[in-house]
Structure 1
Amino acid sequence: MFDWLGFKKGLPLWWSCRLNRGMKEDVEDIFESIANTRMELLKSWTNEYWSHLDRLLEQMGSLEVERSESPELWSAAVDKLFAAAGNRASDFSEIFLLDEEAAVLFSTYASHIGVRYGGRAPFSKGLEYSNSGSKCLFGPFADPLTEQIGPSTSAFHDKMTLLYIIPLMKEGKRAGALCGRVPNDVIGDLIQRESGHVYPDSGDNYIFMARPGLNSQIAPGTALSRSRFEDRTFTFGENLKDGVTTDWGTVSVKEHTELELMFTDPATGMLHPGVANTIANGSNLFVTFPGYSDYRHISVIGKGVTFQLPHCPDVWGMMCEGDLEEVYRIRSIRWKLTRLQLPLLGGFAVLSAVLVYLIMGQMSPLVVACVIGAFNLLYGLLIAWTLHKKGSQPVVDNLHKINQFIRINAEGKGDLTQRLEHGQFMHDETKELAMWINNMIDSLEGIMLQVKQAASDVLSSQHVLTVSTVSTEGSTERMSGKIHDMIRSIRRQLKDIDVAKDVVGDMQGTLRVLEDKASEQIAVAQSEVERIGDKMKQISTKVADTNKTILTFMETTQKIKNVLQVIEEISSQTNLLSLNASIEAARVGEHGKGFAVVAGEIRKLADLTRKSTEEINDTVQLIYKNAKEAFQSMEEGTQVVTEGTQLVAAASEILSGASAEESLKTQVVDEVVGLMEKIAEVSMENRKISTEVEGKVQELLTDIVNVRHTSSHVEAITDFLQQLVNQFRLTETRRR
């Protein structure tokens, strides 16, 4: 019946569960709500901090200065961006930038700058996972630098770390990484909410490894968050730092819960049923007797869930538990009053019977009636006083405390740092009410802290917006002036284009007239050139004929020279014959005188013939020389005529080309006119657009003025919101 608890431990727990068996559905709802709320809180917190890094990365990408161009300006700009991101994301204890060789280029923790990890980084697995371009939430892992940097928002702090990694990709390869360091105890604070814990004496929310993906060295069931039983400030029972004693040994941790504690039942050495069933089924709810054994071998009940945080390769599990004894410790006011009334009623019955027995028969009925009436009255007053003192008065006092606590906070100027003390209440509905009021106040304080932080962020952003709006207004006014000047310039250009269009139109008409005249003149010139070409052909023919005649003349002259040469030879022979005749005449004497006279005359004639022949020969030589010069001159003339013919042909071709070019010029002019018409159309459109732009700029100026007024109004609202929030006293150390 009492299962693994045994009779001694099992009976009181069974009785408590039996008395409060009507609470089962409420307890189920409580643990379901706690588990789902904490799980969603972790996911939303993770997404929020991814968005902070995404925003920072986007801002870095929009920097106007490159690191290679001006390292000092780049460093100053990045410093401002990182400082602003650190203020927004207060759970980051450090934001740093790595290059492709895992060297720290920049960090909000100055001592970290310049450190080169290579492949020795404690988060090298996370970097390797991000090589594909995927984000990675890596951890928890031990990093002494986290402890050296110190806590961000968590009160409890050690070297356990969570790391957000966003890879910087270039050409498909990781060229660096933007990282955000979170002390791992932050997630413990997120899920614990110590001051508003539902079951303050025992309840614990903790995270464990369910299915390792990247961190394969971490076994399922290993603790991933700090347990509240680790903290020595937890005063209910033993803690893990000093050791929790069980019948099977002491359960303790040396440094921290994470990675040191396995959630095993010390009696069996196996994962305790809550963790084991959660890993196996993905979810586990168990809230009835006899519960299950935890790592302290104490009966607990609760809800287990598994989940995966955004960009975390590992599947985590979370248990939300409470000791069975505390959960069902409550004793209802109804039960207390019943238990108080039963002895009083029993005593009344016994005393009434004894009294009637003693006085019956000894007194008159009237006296007996009076005695019994007085006894009933006195005993009734005693019952009423006892029920008031032991029953209703404590409940009223507790309700009064709760009423006073609620009234103070309901007035809007409450102290949200205060909580109802559980020890002042009995284990009944008033303690349950106080417990949930504390939980509500704790949630309200968390919300108010977020509102206060948001109001502060809005106010600071509003100041920046106001400054930016004023600057933008000035810039817009200057831009408006420049646009106005530009529009005036455009309008002047439009006028010039209109004038140019008219000039091109006039030029088109003039060119057409000139084209017509040039066409006529070219036609006349072409006909004259053709006629000249014909004449040149005739001249060329005549020159060729003359050349032939001169050649013939030169041949005849050559023949004359031959004839003269023959004549000259004949003359020489005649002269020789004459001389021989004279000699013969002189020899014969007187009879030869007449023959001597004839021979003399013949000699004279031969001399004359010789002289004439020489003169003719000289004349023929001169004629031949002149004819030869005339022939050379005619050859040159023939060449000149040939060249002239070629020039005439070229002139004719040029004139024909000139006619074609005139047509081309006309085509070009037409195209220019068409282009000017298009430009004129575009100019008209630009004129319309420029007018619209000018109007839009004026509207923008009006909008910016409205934005400035709205910004001032929002700033006033934010100030008022901060005034409202400041009416509450808040635990500033809880702000994240």
Structure 2
Amino acid sequence: MFDWLGFKKGLPLWWSCRLNRGLKEDVEDIFEGIANTRMELLKSWTDEYWSHLDRLLEQIRSLEAERGEAHELWRAAIEKLFIAARNRASDFSELFLLDETSSVVFSSYPAHIGVSYAGEGHIYKGLVYTKDGDKCLFGPYADLLTKQIGPSTSAFHDKMTLLYIVPIMKDGRWRGALCGRVPNDVIGDLIQRESGHVYPDSGDNYIFMAKPVLNTHIAPGTALSRSRFEDRTFTHGENLKDGVTTDWGTVSVKEHTELELMFTDPATGKLHPGVANTIANGSNLFVAFPGYSDYRHIPVIGKGVTFKLPHCPDLWGMMCEGDLEEVYRVRSIRWKLLRLQLPLLIVSAVLSAALVYGLLGQSPAWLTACAAGGFQLLCGLLIARIVQKKGAQPVVDNLRRINRFIRINAEGKGDLTQRLGHGQFAHDETKELAKWINNMIDSLEGIMLQVKQAASDVLSSQHVLTVSTVTTEGSTERMSGKIHDMIRSIRRQLKDIDVAKDVVNDMQGTLRVLEDKASGQIAVAQSEVERIGEKMDQISRKVADTNRTILTFMDTTQKIKNVLQVIEEISAQTNLLSLNASIEAARVGEHGKGFAVVAGEIRKLADLTRKSTEEINETVQLIYKNAQEAFQSMEEGTLVVTEGTQLVAAASEILSGASAEESLKTQVVDEVVDLMEKIAEVSMENRQISTEVEAKVQELLADIVNVRHTSSHVEAITDFLQHLVDQFRLTETRRR
């Protein structure tokens, strides 16, 4: 009946399970929920940190051109990017960059620069795995450098390490890697959530190796995360550092739980049933008596799951357990009241019977009845008083304590750092209620911290967006001024062309008169042709000036495109942060509706910014295209002017020999007239293009102003969101 526990240990545990047999389904749901939420938390955390590295790698690639030309500037830019990435992803204790020889060329921890991993080093297997372009979450492994660098966000810290490795590929070849170092205790914090622990005395969530693929040296059943009871932090009794005593020897670790502890039953030397069944079946749920023996040979129950983190080749397992004794130590208030009243009722009945027996036959029946009734009334009052003081009053006190605690946070301005002390409650429904209230407050605090961090990130991004928008607005205004200057120059050129055209028309009439009056007046015609040549030279210079102005305008347009790319990136980050805030707010349910609305407004504004940026980008593209057409037209005008100059020179020569070639005069004049008409057509086209460019620049300037206003609006909403979050008092050390 008591299986491996034996009668002495098994009987009290069996009785506890028997009294709480109605809780079995709830206990199953509790362990299912703990396992699933912790597993999803690990996966979402891993995905988030991969996204941080992907974004950083894209930013590094954008600076690749500067690496060879201006190496010092490149290093300064990389340093700024690393600082910004670590601020966003605080669990990284170090970010470093490897070149194609596997040497560290840059690191957020300067002492690491120059270290080579080309040989059989700590991360050699992980780097080999990435040679084909696959990312790798490598570890955990022991690295003294992790301890030397120091902790990131975890209160615990040792040399155990997780490493994110993103390969840098070029033309299908491995050219290096971007790596992010995370102290392994971070994942222990993620799955433990200590302040909201449901079973504070015994509950332990731990990760173990289920099936090694890359780290084949780690045997299945080996610990991969820190145990709650590694040292005296969460236990005042035996722990793994001091040694846990069993009938089959002492279970202990020298430095840390990871890679040292094997989850075996000391009685058999084999993997204990929870871990073994989880590895064999992929999951395991067991919450019934007598539980199963863990590595301490203590009866435990719980849920086991196996999973793969994104880009981690190995299959991991996680156990969410609690000691059978703690899980089923609950004694219902109903049971306590029954246990309190039953002895009193028995004593009352015995005393009443004795009283009636003593008076029976010695006193009248009415006196006996009155005495018995009075005695029963006194006993009832006494029982009621005892039940009220020993049974009901403690429950009422506990409920009042819980009521006061809930009231602190009921109005949305609570202290989320406070928790209900488990020791103040008896092992009944009030203690269970207190534990779950603590769990809820802990979850709410975690969500609020994430919302606060997201709001801070959005606000920082908005500041950057505002600065970029102001810069873009200034550049656009300067470009607008240059365009106005270019248009004024074109208009002056058009006037000169009109004057030249009029001169050519006058010259045509004059030459026809000269043709009738004889060669004596050819000299006058030659002077007129020379005047035309001067005008043609002037037009040529003006057209060249216009070409240079248009080229300057095209370069300015390209700069605007670069600024728009920055705005698009900031808008995308704003949208991602608002989406994360919406997801986290959704987890809270009713408590997070307000934040979901605010996050939705931020996402809408981010979309508006993105759409505005896209429209501006299309406008700039159109302006650039029109500018190219203007440049081509001016190039054609230059060729035509050059041709006109040559023709004028030819006309001068023709006029020199006019006495012998009178028949050619009319032909030359007609050609010059045709040429001037062509120049006039080109000038009209340039005037139209210039007007269109000016209009588009004005539209671009208006769009930039709208983006700036939108940015200011989003910043105001973010400030409001931060104001809402700041109403709560939070444990800042939990931020990640």
Residue 518 of structure 1 corresponds to which residue in structure 2? none
Aligned residues of 1:473 and 1:704 also touching (Cα < 8 A): no
- What amino acid is the match of 1:316? W
Which runs of structure 2 are paired with 1:184-263 in the superposition (5 Å)?
184-263=184-263
Measured after TM superposition, the shift of residue 286 of structure 1 is 1.0
Give the alignment partner of residue 707 of structure 2, picking from 704, 708, 716.
704
Residue 95 of structure 1 corresponds to which residue in structure 2? 95
Aligned residues of 1:294 and 1:300 also touching (Cα < 8 A): yes
Aligned residues of 1:333 and 1:429 also touching (Cα < 8 A): yes
Residue 21 of structure 2 corresponds to which residue in structure 1? 21
Measured after TM superposition, the shift of residue 117 of structure 1 is 2.9
Measured after TM superposition, the shift of residue 474 of structure 1 is 2.0
Measured after TM superposition, the shift of residue 402 of structure 1 is 0.9
Provide the C-alpha distance between the structure 2 equivalents of 1:131 and 1:101, rounded to a whole number of angstroms. Answer: 12
- What amino acid is the match of 2:705? T
Pairing 1:296–2:296 present: yes
Provide the C-alpha distance between the structure 2 equivalents of 1:327 and 1:674, rounded to a whole number of angstroms. Answer: 99
Provide the C-alpha distance between the structure 2 equivalents of 1:394 and 1:505, rounded to a whole number of angstroms. Answer: 115
- Assess, with a 3 A threshold, how the Cα gap between structure 1 residues 41 and 716 changes in structure 2: closer, same or farther: closer
- Assess, with a 3 A threshold, how the Cα gap between structure 1 residues 697 and 491 changes in structure 2: closer, same or farther: farther
Pairing 1:37–2:37 present: yes
Residue 360 of structure 2 corresponds to which residue in structure 1? 360
Provide the C-alpha distance between the structure 1 equivalents of 2:291 and 2:278, rounded to a whole number of angstroms. Answer: 15
RMSD, aligned CA: 3.4
Measured after TM superposition, the shift of residue 36 of structure 1 is 0.6
Per mean C-alpha deviation after superposition, the further-off stretch among 111-120 and 281-290 is: 111-120
- What amino acid is the match of 2:142? A
Residue 473 of structure 1 corresponds to which residue in structure 2? 473
- The secondary structure found in structure 2 opposite 1:240 is coil
**How many residues end up aligned between the 2 structures?**
587
Measured after TM superposition, the shift of residue 501 of structure 1 is 11
- Assess, with a 3 A threshold, how the Cα gap between structure 1 residues 365 and 252 changes in structure 2: closer, same or farther: same
Deviations 1:496-524, CA, capped at 9 Å, x for gaps: 9999999999999xxxxxxxxxxxxxxxx
Pairing 1:403–2:403 present: yes
Per mean C-alpha deviation after superposition, the further-off stretch among 359-368 and 293-302 is: 359-368
Measured after TM superposition, the shift of residue 258 of structure 1 is 0.7
- Assess, with a 3 A threshold, how the Cα gap between structure 1 residues 676 and 721 changes in structure 2: closer, same or farther: farther
Provide the C-alpha distance between the structure 2 equivalents of 1:721 and 1:22, rounded to a whole number of angstroms. Answer: 42
Aligned residues of 1:466 and 1:711 also touching (Cα < 8 A): no
Which runs of structure 2 are paired with 1:489-638 in the superposition (5 Å)?
none
Aligned residues of 1:469 and 1:707 also touching (Cα < 8 A): no
Aligned residues of 2:161 and 2:183 also touching (Cα < 8 A): yes
- The secondary structure found in structure 1 opposite 2:322 is strand
* TM-score when normalising by structure 1: 0.73
Residue 635 of structure 1 corresponds to which residue in structure 2? none
Pairing 1:310–2:313 present: no
Measured after TM superposition, the shift of residue 677 of structure 1 is 11
Provide the C-alpha distance between the structure 2 equivalents of 1:203 and 1:169, rounded to a whole number of angstroms. Answer: 45
Residue 522 of structure 1 corresponds to which residue in structure 2? none
Structure 1 stretches lacking a partner, 5+ long: 509-664
Provide the C-alpha distance between the structure 2 equivalents of 1:409 and 1:323, rounded to a whole number of angstroms. Answer: 32
Provide the C-alpha distance between the structure 2 equivalents of 1:454 and 1:411, rounded to a whole number of angstroms. Answer: 23
Measured after TM superposition, the shift of residue 280 of structure 1 is 1.1
- Assess, with a 3 A threshold, how the Cα gap between structure 1 residues 493 and 138 changes in structure 2: closer, same or farther: farther
Deviations 1:271-304, CA, capped at 9 Å, x for gaps: 1111111111111111111111111111111111
- The secondary structure found in structure 2 opposite 1:724 is coil
Deviations 1:200-254, CA, capped at 9 Å, x for gaps: 1111100011111111111111110011111221225311011111111111111
Per mean C-alpha deviation after superposition, the further-off stretch among 420-429 and 470-479 is: 470-479
Provide the C-alpha distance between the structure 2 equivalents of 1:283 and 1:734, rounded to a whole number of angstroms. Answer: 30
Deviations 1:530-589, CA, capped at 9 Å, x for gaps: xxxxxxxxxxxxxxxxxxxxxxxxxxxxxxxxxxxxxxxxxxxxxxxxxxxxxxxxxxxx
- Assess, with a 3 A threshold, how the Cα gap between structure 1 residues 469 and 354 changes in structure 2: closer, same or farther: same
Aligned residues of 1:329 and 1:427 also touching (Cα < 8 A): yes
Per mean C-alpha deviation after superposition, the further-off stretch among 363-372 and 379-388 is: 363-372
Residue 144 of structure 2 corresponds to which residue in structure 1? 144
Larger radius of gyration: 1
Measured after TM superposition, the shift of residue 715 of structure 1 is 5.4
- The secondary structure found in structure 1 opposite 2:462 is helix
- What amino acid is the match of 1:700? D
Which runs of structure 2 are paired with 1:672-691 in the superposition (5 Å)?
686=689, 689-690=692-693
- Assess, with a 3 A threshold, how the Cα gap between structure 1 residues 483 and 674 changes in structure 2: closer, same or farther: closer
Aligned residues of 1:477 and 1:701 also touching (Cα < 8 A): no
Measured after TM superposition, the shift of residue 477 of structure 1 is 2.2
Deviations 1:338-394, CA, capped at 9 Å, x for gaps: 222222222222222111111223223333333222212211111111111111111
Measured after TM superposition, the shift of residue 696 of structure 1 is 1.9
Provide the C-alpha distance between the structure 2 equivalents of 1:121 and 1:313, rounded to a whole number of angstroms. Answer: 19
- Assess, with a 3 A threshold, how the Cα gap between structure 1 residues 681 and 29 changes in structure 2: closer, same or farther: farther
Aligned residues of 2:291 and 2:299 also touching (Cα < 8 A): yes
Residue 384 of structure 1 corresponds to which residue in structure 2? 384
- Assess, with a 3 A threshold, how the Cα gap between structure 1 residues 719 and 341 changes in structure 2: closer, same or farther: closer
- What amino acid is the match of 1:370? C
Provide the C-alpha distance between the structure 2 equivalents of 1:268 and 1:689, rounded to a whole number of angstroms. Answer: 87
Measured after TM superposition, the shift of residue 43 of structure 1 is 0.6
Residue 5 of structure 2 corresponds to which residue in structure 1? 5
Provide the C-alpha distance between the structure 1 equivalents of 2:415 and 2:206, rounded to a whole number of angstroms. Answer: 29
Pairing 1:349–2:356 present: no
Per mean C-alpha deviation after superposition, the further-off stretch among 413-422 and 11-20 is: 413-422
- Assess, with a 3 A threshold, how the Cα gap between structure 1 residues 442 and 715 changes in structure 2: closer, same or farther: closer
Deviations 1:13-58, CA, capped at 9 Å, x for gaps: 1221111111111111111110010001001111111111111112
Aligned residues of 1:455 and 1:721 also touching (Cα < 8 A): no
Aligned residues of 2:229 and 2:235 also touching (Cα < 8 A): no
Residue 274 of structure 2 corresponds to which residue in structure 1? 274
Measured after TM superposition, the shift of residue 431 of structure 1 is 0.6
Provide the C-alpha distance between the structure 2 equivalents of 1:185 and 1:379, rounded to a whole number of angstroms. Answer: 61
- Assess, with a 3 A threshold, how the Cα gap between structure 1 residues 356 and 280 changes in structure 2: closer, same or farther: same
* TM-score when normalising by structure 2: 0.73
